[in-house]
């Protein structure tokens, strides 16, 4: 396990205290662990939308969809 000394703003400190209380954690280290785990799941590795998965599968079959601009890709 890695140990680190961190500097937090007052706002970040309050957020960690709220997370600590909400999940009944022992200390701020566990709160930081909880926040980073949530961040990883929500931001770093989001699940692919079913529509996107279906369009990729269609493209793999050789069936392509014509689009007019790039904003249509993410619908």
In-domain check, residue 34: yes
| Residue-wise pLDDT tens digits, 11-69 | 999 999 999 999 999 999 999 999 999 888 777 766 777 777 787 788 888 767 777 78
pTM of the model: 0.58
Count CA atoms within 13 Å of residue 72 on its CB side.
5
Domain with 28, as residue range(s), is 10-72
In-domain check, residue 4: no
In-domain check, residue 2: no
Q: Are 23 and 34 in contact (CB under 8 A)?
A: yes
Q: What is the pLDDT of residue 57?
A: 83
DSSP-based three-state secondary structure for 35: helix
In-domain check, residue 37: yes
Does position 71 have pLDDT exceeding 90, yes or no? no
In-domain check, residue 1: no
In-domain check, residue 17: yes
In-domain check, residue 5: no
Q: What is the number of residues in the chain?
A: 75
What is the number of domains present in the chain? 1
Q: What is the pLDDT of residue 56?
A: 79
In-domain check, residue 20: yes
């Amino acid at each position: 396990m890695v140990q680190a000394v961190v500097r937090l703003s007052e706002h970040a400190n309050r957020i960690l205290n709220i997370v600590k209380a909400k999940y009944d954690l022992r200390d701020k280290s566990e709160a930081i662990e909880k926040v980073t785990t949530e961040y990883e799941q929500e931001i770093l590795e989001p699940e692919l939308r079913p529509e996107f998965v279906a369009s990729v599968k269609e493209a793999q079959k050789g069936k392509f969809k014509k689009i007019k601009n790039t904003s249509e890709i993410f619908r």
